[in-house]
Structure 1
Amino acid sequence: MNIDLSGRTAFVSGSTQGIGRVIAARLAAAGATTMINGRGTERVESVVAELRAEQPDARIDGIAADVATPAGAATVFEALPEVDILVNNLGIFAPQPALEIDEETWQRYWEVNVLSGIRLTRHYLPGMRDRGWGRVQFMASDSAVVIPAEMVHYGVTKTALLGVSRGFAKAMAGTGVTVNAVIAGPTHTEGVEEFVRALVGDELPWERAQVEFMRRHRPNSLVERLIEPEEIANMVVYLSSEYASATTGGALRVDGGYVDNIVP
Structure 2
Amino acid sequence: MDLEIAGKRALVTGSSAGLGSAIARLLAAEGASVVVHGRDVSRASRVASSIGAAGVAIGDLSTDAGADAVAAAAGDVDILVNNAGSYDHLGWTDATPEVWASTYEANVVSAVRMIQRCVPGMRARGWGRVVQIGGGLAIQPMAMQPHYTATLAARHNLAVSLARDLAGTGVTSNVVAPGAILVDSVRELLTTIAPSHGSGDSWEDIEPAAARDLVPNDVGRLGRPEEIAAAVGYLVSPAAAYVSGATIRVDGGTIRSVH
Report the counterpart of residue 99 of structure 1 in structure 2: 93
Identity between Structure 1 and Structure 2 (%): 36
Counterpart pick for 2:140 among 141, 146, 166: 146
The aligned runs of 1:150-189 (5 Å cut-off) are: 150-189=144-183
- The answer to whether the 8 Å contact 1:51/1:60 transfers is no
Report the counterpart of residue 19 of structure 1 in structure 2: 19
Query: 2: distance between equivalents of 1:78 and 1:68?
Result: 16
Which structure 2 segments of 5+ residues have no match? none
Question: 1:194 is aligned with what amino acid?
Answer: E
- The answer to whether the 8 Å contact 2:123/2:171 transfers is yes
Counterpart pick for 1:211 among 191, 208, 218: 208
Once the two structures are superposed, what CA deviation does each residue of 1:111-144 show, in whole Å capped at 9, x if it has no partner?
1111111110111111111111000000001111
In the comparison of the two structures, how many residue pairs are matched?
256
**TM-score for the superposition, normalised by structure 1:** 0.92
- Report the alpha carbon displacement of residue 191 of structure 1 after superposing the two structures with TM: 1.8
- Alignment RMSD: 1.6
**TM-score for the superposition, normalised by structure 2:** 0.94
- Report the alpha carbon displacement of residue 2 of structure 1 after superposing the two structures with TM: 2.5
Once the two structures are superposed, what CA deviation does each residue of 1:190-210 show, in whole Å capped at 9, x if it has no partner?
121233245434872223222
Q: Does residue 40 in structure 1 map to residue 40 in structure 2?
A: yes
Query: 2: distance between equivalents of 1:146 and 1:244?
Result: 26
The aligned runs of 1:1-264 (5 Å cut-off) are: 2-52=2-52, 59-197=53-191, 199-201=193-195, 204-219=201-216, 221-263=217-259
- The answer to whether the 8 Å contact 1:36/1:62 transfers is yes
Which structure 1 segments of 5+ residues have no match? 53-58
- The answer to whether the 8 Å contact 1:142/1:186 transfers is no
- Report the alpha carbon displacement of residue 39 of structure 1 after superposing the two structures with TM: 0.2
